[in-house]
A and B are shown apart, each in its own frame.
Chain A
Amino acid sequence: MKGIGTSSGIALGKVLIYEEPKITVEENKAKDIDREIARLNKAIGRAVEEIQQLYVRTLENVGEDEAEIFNAHKMMAEDPEFIEGVKSKIRDEKVTAEWAVKQVAEEYISIFENIEDEYLRERALDLKDVSQRLLRILLGIESMDLSILKEECIIVAEDLTPSDTAQMNKDMILGIVTELGGTTSHTSIIARSLEIPAIAGVEDIIGTVKNGDIIIIDGSKGTITLEPSKKDIEAYKTKKKEQEDFRFKLQEMRGKGSISKDGTKVEIAANIGNHRDLNSVIENDGEGVGLFRTEFLYMDNNRLPTEEEQFKAYRFVAEGLEGKPVIIRTLDVGGDKDIPYMNLPKEMNPFLGYRAIRLCLDRTDIFKTQLRALLRASAFGNIKIMFPMISNIEEVRLAKRQLEEAKEELTKENIEFNPNIEVGIMVEIPAVAIHSDIFAKEIDFFSIGTNDLIQYTVAVDRGNQHISNLYNQYHPSVLKLIKMTIENGHKEGIWVGMCGEAAGDEKLIPLLLAMGLDEFSMNPSSMLKARYIIKNTSKEEIEPMLDKILSLPTAEDVERFIDENIVK
C-alpha cells in the first residue's frame, strides 16, 4: 500500500488501530440500586487512576502548565457534590449509574455554560471530558490512550488531533499511518519533530489491517509492506543500520558553519511552534529561528494570552538563543487553524478568508497586544517581526503603523525595546511574489512560505487528499516565483529566507542555494542534514542549470532532472 511519506525513517512493528470510542447511553431502570452505586464507586476510582497517569506523563513530557488540566479533571471526578448528585439520582429515580452520570454532568455543564464567563465554559469542556471517561469505564468500552501504551507499536488512525499527539508517548510509537492529511497536516509536522516515521493519506488502511499485524513502513517513500516476508525483514534491518550510520555522520556537522563547497555562507535556522522547542534548536545546532509560530499562545488557553504571557515566551526564546536571530511571526490564525473562543465565522473558503494579518488589522486590540509583547522582548535578544498572509502593500503599511504606535506607547511608558527591530513579511501569496520588487522597498526581509505559496499558486487545498498529487513543490511555476522573489529582494538589498517545507527538502536545497537564498528555515530535526547537503554542494555548479530547470515542462521533469543531475 502507498500513501504520502510525511516523516522519513523506516519502522517495523505491530499495528495499533486508534479510534475514538463512540458512547451512547440509554435511560434504563436499575435492577439493583446497591450494585449501581458500587459500579459508580469503582468507575470513579478507575477514572481517577487514569487521570493521575495522564497528569504524571504530561508533567514529565510537556510541562506543569499543561499537566494542570488533569488536576482539574481529577478534582471533578472526585467532587463530593457531583458524586452525591449522581448517587441521589440512582436512588431516587432507580436508574443505572451511567444514565445518572450523564444527567448530572449535563446539569452542571449547562450551569457552567450559562454563566457569562470564559473560564467556566472551559470547565464545561473539562466536565464533558471527565463524564465521557466515566461513561466509557461504566460501559466497558476499551479506551485508547496514546500516553499509556504498554508496548511499541505503529499507530494506525483516521487522523490524530493535537490533544492525541500531545499525550503521545513517543518512546512507544514506532510509526504513524493515517488515512487523512498530507505533508503539512498537524500529525505530519509533529511526527517530523518527534522523528517518528509517518505516512499520511492512506485510503482505508483501518479496514485493511487489524490490531497486532506486523507491518513495515517507509516514511521517505510512503510505502507500507503488509505481511512482510523474511526477505523484507532482512532488507529492513540492513536499511535501518544504514540510516543509523548516516545519523552518526550528521552529528559531525555540529558546530560547523553552513558554507557551500565553493564558499557561499547561508544560515540554517529552525521552525518552531512553541517556546519549549528551543531545546531542539540548540540540540540540532540551529543558527537561529527562522519561524517562531505564535499560535500556541492563543490555542493553549480558552482566552486570549496577555501581553505579559506573550512577553515571557518571546523573551525566553530570544534569551535562549544568545544573540542568534529569532523571527517571530504574528498571529496566523484562521484557515485550518481555529481558536474556538474567538468565534471566528465558518467560511466556505477559509484559506482565502478572514485570517492572519487580515484578522489582526481588523482586531487591532489583539494585534497591538502582541506587538507590544514582541517589542518588549526585543530588548532581550535578536528578535525580528514577520507578518503573515500579506497580499498588498497597504497591509504592510497598516501593520507597520500599528507597530509604530506600539513603539510610541512603550516610549511614553519608559519601557525598553529595540527601536531598529527588523520587520519582514511572509511571501506566500503569488501576488506578493510577482510584485516583490516593490514590496522589497517597504520592509527588511522576505521569508518565503512555500506551503501556502504552492497551495495558492496551483489552487490546491493542501489538506485535501483527493488532489494531493497536484500539490507539488517542484512545480516550475512555484520555482519561478521563488527565484523571482529572491532576485527582487537582493536588488533592493534585503535578505531572503524560506520557512516552508521546501527549505528542508534535500532535492530543493541545492536549487535554492543556487538561486541565492540566504536563510533556510526548517524543522529542527532536518537542520544537520541540510547543512550536510549545503557543504557538499557547489553553488557555481548548479547556477548554470537553473534556466534549464525552470524551462522544463512539468514538475515531474524537474524532479527527474534533479535526481539525475544534482542529488544523484
Chain B
Amino acid sequence: MYKEEVILKNKTGLHARPASLFVREAAKFSSDIKVIKDNKEYNAKSIMGILSMGAGKGDAITIQADGSDAEEAIESLVKLINDKFNEKE
C-alpha cells in the first residue's frame, strides 16, 4: 500500500475540470485508489465521490493506493495535482 499527502494548489481545487481529470487519471490504474480528507475516504475513480468530498484550494488530501500499479498511480496523481492540472491563469 502506498500513500502520499498533497495540498491542492490550483484555483478550483478538486472541482469542475480538475475533478474529472483526476478521476479519469485514477481510472487508468487497476489498483484500488482512495482519497482521504478529514478522516473520510472517497473512491478516487468516482466522480460523484470526489465531487461530494468538496476539496478546494489549500485543502490537504491523502491519496492511498493498493494494488499492482499502486506506486505509479500515486506518482501520476500527485504529479497531476502539483502541476495544477495544467490550468490556465
How many angstroms between the C-alpha atoms of A494 and B11 in the bound complex? 46
Instruction: Establish whether residues A80 and B46, one from each chain, have CB atoms under 8 Å apart when the complex forms.
Output: yes
CA distance A115 to B48 in the complex (A): 13
Chain A residues near B15: list those with CB within 8 A: 117, 119-120
Residues of B within 8 A of A564 (CB): none
In whole angstroms, what is the CA distance A81 to B23 when docked? 12
| Alpha-carbon separation in the docked complex, A82 to B48 (Å) | 7
Q: How would residues 37 to 59 of chain B score, 1 for a CB under 8 Å from any chain A CB and 0 otherwise? A: 00000010111110110100000
Tell me if B20 is interfacial: C-beta within 8 Å of chain A: yes
Given the complex of chains A and B, what is the CA–CA distance between A308 and B7 in angstroms?
Answer: 27
Interface majority SS on B: helix, strand, loop or mixed? helix
- The size class of the interface chain B forms with chain A is 10 to 19
- List which A85-139 residues lie within 8 A (CB) of chain B: 108, 111-112, 115, 117, 119-120, 123, 127
Interfacial chain B residues near A123, Cβ < 8 Å: 51
Which residues 20-75 of B have a CB within 8 angstroms of A?
Answer: 20, 23-24, 43, 45-49, 51-52, 54
A120 to B45, CA, bound (A): 18
**How long is the Cα–Cα vector from A117 to B15 in the complex, in angstroms?**
10
Q: Which residues of A contact B17 (CB under 8 A)?
A: 68
Does A227 reach chain B (CB closer than 8 Å)? Answer: no
Q: Does A71 contact B (CB under 8 A)?
A: yes
CA distance A111 to B50 in the complex (A): 12
A226 within 8 A of B: no
- CB A536 to nearest CB in B, in angstroms, measures 51
Determine the chain B residues whose CB is within 8 A of the CB of A344 once the complex forms. none
Instruction: Flag if B20 contacts A79 (CB, 8 Å).
Output: no
Q: How far is the CB of B79 from chain A (nearest CB, A)?
A: 21
Q: How far is the CA of A123 from the CA of B54 in the complex (A)?
A: 12
Is B46 in contact with A108, judged by CB distance below 8 angstroms? no
Q: Whole-angstrom distance from the CB of A268 to the nearest CB of chain B? A: 38
Any A CB within 8 A of the CB of B89:
yes
How many contacts between A and B, using CB within 8 angstroms? 42
Q: With A115-B54, A308-B89 as known contacts, state yes or no: A81 contacts B16, CB within 8 Å.
A: no
Assess whether A119 is in contact with B16, with CB atoms less than 8 Å apart.
yes
When distances are taken between beta carbons in the complex, the residues of chain A under 8 Å from B47 are 72, 75-76, 79
**B51–A112 CB distance below 8 A:** yes
Q: How far is the CA of A80 from the CA of B27 in the complex (A)?
A: 10
Residues of A within 8 A of B54 (CB): 115, 117, 120
Interface size on A, residues (CB 8 A): 19
B45 to chain A, nearest CB (A): 6
List the A side residues contacting B48 at CB < 8 Å: 76, 79, 81-82, 108, 127
Cα–Cα, bound, A308→B52 (Å): 29
- Kindly report which residue of chain A lies nearest to residue B17, judged by CB atoms: A68
B51 contacts which chain A residues (CB < 8 A)?
A: 112, 120, 123
**A240 vs B46: C-alpha distance when bound (angstroms):** 54
Compute how far the CA of A208 lies from the CA of B18 in the bound complex, rounded to whole angstroms. Answer: 50
Of B16, B51, B52, most buried by chain A (CB within 10 Å of CB) is B51
How many angstroms between the C-alpha atoms of A117 and B45 in the bound complex? 22
In the complex, what distance in Å separates the CA atom of A72 from the CA atom of B15? 12
Collect the chain A residues with CB atoms within 8 Å of residue B23's CB.
75
Question: A111, A123, A308 — which one has the most chain B CB atoms within 10 A of its CB?
Answer: A123
Contacts of A82 in B (CB 8 A): 46, 48
Q: A450 to B23, alpha carbons, bound, how many Å?
A: 50
A75 touching B52 by the CB < 8 A rule?
A: no
How far apart are B76's CB and chain A's nearest CB, in angstroms?
Answer: 18
Q: CA A71 – CA B12 in complex, angstroms?
A: 19
Task: Report if A80-B43 is in contact (Cβ < 8 Å); known contacts: A72-B20, A117-B15, A119-B15.
Answer: yes
Q: Is the CB of B49 within 8 A of A81?
A: yes
CB of B46 within 8 A of CB of A81, answer yes
Beta-carbon nearest neighbor of A68 in chain B: B17
A120 and B47 CA atoms in complex are apart in Å by: 11
Beta-carbon contact of A75 and B43 below 8 Å: no
A446 to B: closest C-beta gap in Å = 38
Interface residues in A365-414 (C-beta closer than 8 Å to B): none
A121: min CB distance to chain B, Å:
11
The smallest beta-carbon distance between B23 and chain A, in angstroms, is 6
Q: B13 CB to closest chain A CB, in angstroms? A: 10
The residue of chain A having its C-beta at the shortest distance from the C-beta of B23 within the complex is: A75
With a cutoff of 8 Å between Cβ atoms, the chain B residues found around residue A81 in the complex are 43, 46, 48-49
Count chain A CB atoms within 10 A of each CB in B16, B24, B49, B52 and give the residue with the most. Answer: B52
CB closest residue in chain B, given A81: B46
In the assembled complex, the Cα of A72 lies from the Cα of B51 at a distance in Å of 12
Give Cα A112 to B48, complex, Å: 9
21 A-B contact pairs sorted by A residue (CB < 8 Å): A68-B17, A72-B47, A75-B20, A75-B23, A79-B47, A79-B48, A80-B43, A80-B46, A81-B48, A82-B48, A108-B48, A115-B52, A115-B54, A117-B15, A117-B54, A119-B16, A120-B15, A120-B51, A120-B52, A123-B51, A127-B48
9 closest residue pairs by CB, A with B: A81-B46, A75-B47, A81-B49, A111-B52, A119-B15, A79-B48, A79-B46, A115-B54, A81-B43
